[in-house]
Amino acid sequence: MTYCPKCGEKIPEDALFCPKCGAKTMKGVETNVPGPADELKAAFSKMSIELEKAFSVAAKEINAAFQTASENIQKSLTKDKIVCPNCGEKNPNNSVFCYSCGKKIKAE
């Protein structure tokens, strides 16, 4: 008979886990048998890899969205002026009529 390294319970020599506390025995360690904690560690490891991938994709998408928003803001702030074909005056982009000569600039 051997004893559990965790709780000290007598266990059979060929036991891989302690029947009382569930700890992996020396035999279990030697045979490299996966235990519940090992499965949990593997699951967390896989989950962390998947989360890292997801956050990486999300970061790229967020950066692209901010870049697009920034470009759109810059475009809206620096809209080209409309030049009146009659007098050459530069009018705001949304003008329909020239504010200098009153002639129609563009079709509505």
The model's pLDDT over 72-87, given as tens digits with 9 standing for 90+, comes to: 888 777 777 889 999 9
Q: Assess whether 47 and 63 both reside in one domain.
A: yes
Q: Assess whether 50 and 73 both reside in one domain.
A: yes
List Cβ neighbours of 34 (8 Å cut-off, separation of 6 or more).
42
- The least confident of 11-15, 30-34, 35-39, 100-104 is 35-39
Dist CA 4 CA 21 (whole Å): 9
Q: Assess whether 69 and 42 both reside in one domain.
A: yes
Q: Assess whether 1 and 25 both reside in one domain.
A: yes
* Domains identified in the chain, total number: 3
Dist CA 56 CA 70 (whole Å): 21
Q: Assess whether 51 and 64 both reside in one domain.
A: yes
Q: Assess whether 46 and 67 both reside in one domain.
A: yes
**pLDDT digits 0-9 by tens, 88-108:** 999 988 889 999 999 998 755
Q: Assess whether 43 and 29 both reside in one domain.
A: no
DSSP label at residue 102:
-
Dist CA 22 CA 75 (whole Å): 66
- Domain residues for the domain of 10 are 1-33
